[in-house]
Structure formats: structure tokens, C-alpha cells
Structure 1
Amino acid sequence: MQQPNLASRGASKAGMVFRVTSGNFLEQFDFFLFGFYATHIAAAFFPASNEFASLMMTFAVFGAGFLMRPLGAVLLGAYIDDVGRRKGLIVTLAIMASGTLLIVLVPGYASIGLWAPALVLLGRLLQGFSAGAEMGGVSVYLAEMATPGRKGFYASWQSASQQVAIVVAAGLGFALNLWLTPVDLAQWGWRIPFGIGCLIIPFIFLLRRSLQETEEFANRTHRPTMKDVFGTLYDNAGIVFLGMLMVAMTTTAFYMITVYAPTFGKSVLQLSTGDALIVTLLVGVSNFIWLPIGGALSDRFGRKPLLAAMSLLTLITAYPALSFLAQAPSFAHMLEVLLWFSFLYGIYNGAMIPALTEIMPVEVRVAGFSLAYSLATAIFGGFTPAVSTWLIHMTGDKAAPAYWMIFAALCAFIATLVLYRRLSAQSLATA
């Protein structure tokens, strides 16, 4: 059987980055749309006696997809560590596309009753299962293809590609808000962006099929079996756990400033739909700028200083910033606060992604990365909209989502210090 060409013989690095991150675009595009159109999805699939209950059910289904990520991380991650980055990423894309198509095509509750929320839940579970290994596979591919000394910069494009999806989704949402009446948007218009996501699936498949295997993986002589993966993950459970806590800051901040932000702006701050979308679009642009900068800075100054500094800044500033916004809600204030959070997230995540690829054992690099990331997303990030909605409802404090950010930042700060102290001790022991 003919082997795929090595990455070193293929197209340019930029072309490789574009092809491998294309699936990330689709994943985040759909995830963002689900969060932004939560109120419309709630009315279509989860009718309830009051808006709070309906919205909570919608966000619970949104979060349920993240519960599948750890399972996908282990099973699909092990598959990618066995068969290769290229083949594995084509499989994750196929599963993700199936979930997206299902959500788009499901009729509303009024047409098929309980089958509607059940099928939407199934679509979310498929998306979550796929995403469990998608981000890990992409991050490891980028790290393995990076030129020496620039691993942080290259790996940061995994997250940067997601910001393009946010900008495109927010732009589509803003256009639909101008072109359609509120009634049409609520009844059927919200499905249009999801349909557009389905239309680009064949193009992304073509991009993924043209991927070439990384030279580092192709040169490996040992490919772990599923049993080997489970054993190695078990032996390194402490590193996976600390990695999960380190990722907590990333997932919570990201879903706070992107997926939850439009709902927060409309439902809590009573800003217009257009204002909330423009803010989210600008946040996506800001993230896209800061992420590669964070990766490059981590190449220059090290991962630990950036991780510790950004998590500490989040601990100190999260509540004052959201309290300022809650007391004086406006387009300008929401933009100021979310751009500050974007800076914290971008620099932190730019350093965190390459750090996570470096701390995992090489033979289970995708599975280990994916499991740590998926656990953090399932526990912290995926339920950020639901937890934020619940905190505001229970406390009456519109700035209450900051408590969740502070908790995640504290976990990340402690994990960073413990993890790098542990790695330093191991390096001294083997020196």
C-alpha cells in the first residue's frame, strides 16, 4: 500500500496549517451558533413553562455534548495515536459532520414531539464525541510539524482557527438580524447559519484528505495498542489531572467571552442583538490576534511565566471587570470588558496549548492531550453558560459569572505551579 508523503515533502507550512485547522473552524462555528441562538433553539425544541427553564434545558443539552468528549478523547485519541494524525482527523471530521447535519434537519417540538429534543441531544453527543479528539489531534499535528523553537507559535493556530469561525458566525448573525424580522428569525431563520455550516463540510473533507502525515509520527517505530494507551494514561493520571486543571482557565474564559457573551448581552444586560453580535465579532478578532502572540511569547520566555501571570491576573480582575459592566451596561463597556478577557485568554491559551503537548508522554500524545482538554471542557467550559445563568438566577448579581472564572483561574494557577515544579524535579532526577 502506498504510504502518504511526509510533511517535509509537501506543501508550505502555511498550507498545512490551513488544511489541518479547517475542521476546528467547523466545530467552533456550530458550537458558537448553538450558544448564540440558544433562546430560539429553546423555543423550538425545549418548550417549558418559563423562559429560564427552557433556556436551562437548552444549555444543559449544549453542555451534555461536552460530557462525551472524554470518551472521544480516549477512544479516538488512541485511534489517532495508532493509525496516524491524517487518517484520524478525517474520521473525527466525519463524526462531527454527522452531528451537525442531524441538528440542522430535525423538525421542531411542535412537529415531532419528544423526538425533537432527543435527536438534538444525539447530534450534540456526536459532536462532543468527535471534538474530544479533534482539538488534541490538530494541536499535536501542529506541534509535530513546527520548526525548531517555534512550537508555541505553530500550535497556537489550533485556537486561532476557531476565532475565524466566531467572526464568520457573528457576521452571519448580524446580517440575518438586519434582513429578517424577529418572528422569521425565531421560526426558521436561525437554521440558516447551521445550513451554511453543512454546505462547507465537503470542502473541509477535501482539505483534510490532502493532509500529509507528520514526519515525526511517520518515523516512529512503535504504535501503541488500545491496551497500551489505557495503561500509559493510568500511569500518568497525575499529569492528566494537572493538565485538566491547567486547561480549566482556557475553556471557561473562551466559552464565557464567545458562546455565552451574546446571551449575556441580550438577556442579562438588555443590550440589542446587533450590539451583542458586534462585540462578539470584535472579541473573535482580538482572540485571533492575541493567540499567536501568546504562542510566540511562550517560545521566547517560556510557558510557565505566561501561564502563571495570566491566571493570576484573571483571579484579580474578573469580578471587578464584570461588576463594572453590570452596573453600567452599554456597548462600549461590554466591549472593553470582553476585550480585556480576550487578552487574558489569548496570551494564556497561546502558551497553554504547546505546554500541554509537551507534558504528555509521546506515545499517547494525542490521547493524553485530548483527555486532559476534554475533561476540563466537560467540567468547566461546556457548562459555563448554564453555570453562569444559574449563578445570576440564584444570587441576583449580574456579575456572578465572574465567580466561575475565578475558580477556574485558581485551579489553573495552582496546577501550573505544581506541574512545573514536578517536571523540574523529574528533570533533576534524570540529569
Structure 2
Amino acid sequence: MSGAEHVEPFNVKRAALAATVGNMLEFYDFITYSFFAIQIGHTFFPTGSEYGSLMLSLATFGAGFVTRPIGGVVLGIYSDRIGRRPAMLLSFALMGAAILTISLTPSYNAIGIAAPIIVIAARMAQGFALGGEVGPTTAYLIEIAPPEHRALVVAWQPASQEIAATAGALVGVILSKTMAPEMLDSYGWRVAFLLGAVCMPFGLWMRRTLPETIPQGEAAAPAEYRTNHLSQARRHIGLIALALMILASGTISTYVTQYMTTYAQNTLHVSSTLAFAVSLVSNGIQFVGALFGGWLADRLGRKPVMIWPQLITLLLTYPAFLWIVHAPGALSLLVGFGVLSAIGSLPFTAFYATFTEALPQNIRGGVFATVYAVAIASFGGTAQLVVTWLLHVTGDPLAPAWYLLLAAIVGLVAMSLMPETAPMKKHPGKS
């Protein structure tokens, strides 16, 4: 069941906009932390070494992933039983409270050990909120979309994440150009966070107007729901395993890409302005790629759009990193990461559509949210720590490439085994 019959046609575009605007604001707040990991480390985790401060800051970034599976289970199941809109409103409100807390927490030098404790707690609240955001939102987009445009509508889920990352990188470019390094360390990163916080009321207002896609009166009693949910989930265990592999591949790629701001500054020793510009360009390209991938998946089918771009990404990753490492500069960084971003963003939109289409509506939000959150927590939360550690122990600036290659191989294998779920299309010239 697509669920589209529960939303009037003239409301579909507005409903998709409201859902993805909220998603974009939540991801802006979550991802912006990684762009300012160095500055946040100086504020809350002062140590005797840059490496130690950065690792503690990235560990706190990772703490936000620990609670994502919990949020995925709780809010995902809540969305299946009660409705998509209440779940999306709750996750959004929690994210708003957490981001304000991080933005306004005094530094370690001002309040001591309480500062990192408060920030870690707020990151964990953010993780819970975001864990329950993706599943209900993706399910909602599938349910409001007409069958012939499902992949394109669902593409706004990853596309909104790229808008968020692009906005975060743009803010970073502007702040790094207009502020001295000590000002960026002191309060510049707080400005970036507060810009997201001030948009929260708009997102809440938009989401309050969303039409619901879960039919009223169809919610099962708790015990009955748990039984049905588990039994149906077991029947889809193979699909879930493949989804975990693909999401692991995708999240490693995503969070290593977000780490390139820090990598460019710490490892390649380029200016912070160029480092933020690289993230701005790569995320902007991934936004276009996500939508283009959805458009292609509606016309060519889901599997071709998953498999072929993933294979090309696998073949290009190492040569791109070789160029970047041996000739670090604006041309190699912008073109190298730009090409990888453009091609690598195509497969995962098709995957989002495939996985949500393959799940029954009454378990769609909970299963998608849980699988997504587990994969992100296991691999997204550790990706930047692993890359930083690999760079430190090997001294090899190509270490991120090896990690990306391993992830790409796992993703390609799983994508080749996924079912084709695209509705049958009429071909030109045929009736």
C-alpha cells in the first residue's frame, strides 16, 4: 500500500516539503558538529595535544550515534502505531532542545568537567531524535507519492540531508573567511549552531500542518502489534540483512566525506576556507545527484541505478585520492571529491525507494528506522574516529581511500542481491 490515497493530490508537494524541511534542519544541526570538530574540541576538550583534543571531540560526535538505534526503535514503532506526524514532531522538538543546549553550554575553562558532560548528554539526545527521524520521514514520503514518482519523492530524504550538509559547509566558509581563527575557536562555531536553532519554530509549524498517512483506527493493541511486527520482520530478514550492508557502505561514505573538512586541514594542510569550500561543493553535488538518482530510478528501475554508479565509484576512489594527496590544492580537491560525490550519490536514492517499497506499511517506519539507525550507529559513529586513527597509526594520507574501498565493495555486493521493486512502466511506443 502506498498510502497516497490518504493525502489529497494538491497536498502532496506541500506535505513532502514540510517533511523534508524538518529533516533538513535536523541534519544541519547534527552534521554541523563534524565541520567544527576541531573548534569544539578546543572548547570542551582541551588537552596537551591537537590529536587528543580532536579524538575526544570526535568521540562526542560518535556519542550521538549510540542512542540512534534506541530512537529508531522507539520513534519508528511509535510512527507505525500512532502516526507519522506525531513521531516527526516529537523527534524535531527533541533535536531543537539538544541543539540549543550545545550552542549555549559554557566552555571547559568556564565550568570545568560539567561542560563536556552536558555536551555529551545533548549529543545523545540529538542521536535519539535523529534515529527516530529518518524511518518515519522516509515511510511518509513513500506513502504520499504516486507510484510512478516514488523514487523521486523519496529522493528528497537524502537530498534534504545534502542540503543540510551544504548549508553547514557554506556557513563554515563564511565564518572562516570573516573571522580570525581565535574567534572561530571561541564562538564562531556557536553561531553556526544557533543559525539552525532559530529555524526550528518554522520547521515545527510546517510539520504541524502535515496530513497523516496512517489510517485512523487501524492501530493494533500493544501486545498484538509487537507480535505482528516481529513476525513480519522475521519474514523480511534477508532484505534487512542486505539493507544493513548497503546502509553501512553508504554511511561510511557519507561521514568520511563530511570528515574531509578536517582531513584537508589536518592532513593535507590546506586553508580552512578551502577545506570548507570542498565540503560545500561536494555536498551541493550530492544534493543534485540524489534527486537525479531518484529520477533515473523511476525510469530505469531501482537495481541499475544502484549497481552501475556504485561500481564506477569503486573504480575511481583510489585514483582520485592519489591525485588529491600528491597534488593537494583547489583543483584536485574540488574536482576529485566532486566527481566521487556526483557518482557516489546516485545509488542510495534508489536503495531508499527499494527498501521502503519492499516493507509492508504497518512495519515500514519501525523497521526502516531501526535498520537505518543500527547501521548508522555502528559505522557512521565510528567512521571519523577510524579514519583519524588510521591516519595517525599508519601515517598514510591514503588511509581514507582504503576504508572507502572496503565499504564500496560491501555495498556493491548487497545492491546486486536486492530485489527490483519499481512499478512496471509503459515504454515509449508501447501501449
TM-score, with structure 1 as normaliser:
0.91
**Counterpart in 2 of 1:133?**
132
Matches within 5 A, 1:309-388: 309-388=308-387
Residue identity over aligned pairs, in percent, reads 33
**Counterpart in 1 of 2:111?**
112
Question: Does 2:250 match 1:250?
Answer: yes
Question: Does 2:271 match 1:272?
Answer: yes
Aligned to 1:190, what secondary structure does the other structure show?
helix
Amino acid at match of 2:124: L
Aligned to 2:148, what secondary structure does the other structure show?
coil
Aligned to 1:383, what secondary structure does the other structure show?
helix
**Counterpart in 2 of 1:240?**
240
**Counterpart in 1 of 2:97?**
98
Amino acid at match of 1:390: W
Relative to structure 1, is the Cα distance of residues 309 and 130 closer, same or farther in structure 2, using a 3 angstrom cutoff? same
The offset of 1:219, in angstroms, is 7.2
Distance 1:321 1:387 in 2: 20
CA contact (8 A) 2:243 2:355 kept: yes
The offset of 1:16, in angstroms, is 1.5
**Counterpart in 2 of 1:213?**
212
Distance 1:344 1:390 in 2: 27
The offset of 1:222, in angstroms, is 5.0
Deviations, residues 245-294 of structure 1 (Å, cap 9, x unaligned): 1112221222222x211111111111111111222112222112111110
The offset of 1:224, in angstroms, is 6.7
Amino acid at match of 2:287: F
Range with greater deviation from structure 2 (202-211 or 175-184)? 175-184
The offset of 1:382, in angstroms, is 2.6
Amino acid at match of 2:50: E
CA RMSD of aligned residues (A): 2.1
Deviations, residues 166-204 of structure 1 (Å, cap 9, x unaligned): 222222222222222211111112101111111111111
Distance 1:175 1:320 in 2: 31
Deviations, residues 292-319 of structure 1 (Å, cap 9, x unaligned): 1101111112212222223322332222
TM-score, with structure 2 as normaliser:
0.91
Aligned to 1:150, what secondary structure does the other structure show?
helix
Relative to structure 1, is the Cα distance of residues 12 and 329 closer, same or farther in structure 2, using a 3 angstrom cutoff? same
The offset of 1:360, in angstroms, is 2.4
Amino acid at match of 1:266: Q
The offset of 1:354, in angstroms, is 0.5
CA contact (8 A) 1:6 1:218 kept: no
Distance 1:35 1:105 in 2: 18
Matches within 5 A, 1:155-304: 155-214=154-213, 217-218=214-215, 221-223=218-220, 225=222, 227-228=226-227, 229-257=229-257, 259-304=258-303
Amino acid at match of 1:157: W
Distance 1:419 1:278 in 2: 36
Give the aligned length.
416
Distance 2:308 2:345 in 1: 13
Distance 2:240 2:212 in 1: 26
The offset of 1:7, in angstroms, is 5.3
Amino acid at match of 1:78: I
CA contact (8 A) 1:315 1:406 kept: yes
Aligned to 2:345, what secondary structure does the other structure show?
helix
**Counterpart in 1 of 2:145?**
146
**Counterpart in 1 of 2:7?**
8
The offset of 1:344, in angstroms, is 2.5
**Counterpart in 1 of 2:43?**
44
Aligned to 2:419, what secondary structure does the other structure show?
helix
Gap regions ≥5 residues in structure 2: 422-431
Which of structure 1's runs of 4+ aligned residues deviate more than 6 A? Answer: none
Distance 1:392 1:182 in 2: 24
Distance 2:380 2:343 in 1: 16
Distance 1:287 1:397 in 2: 27
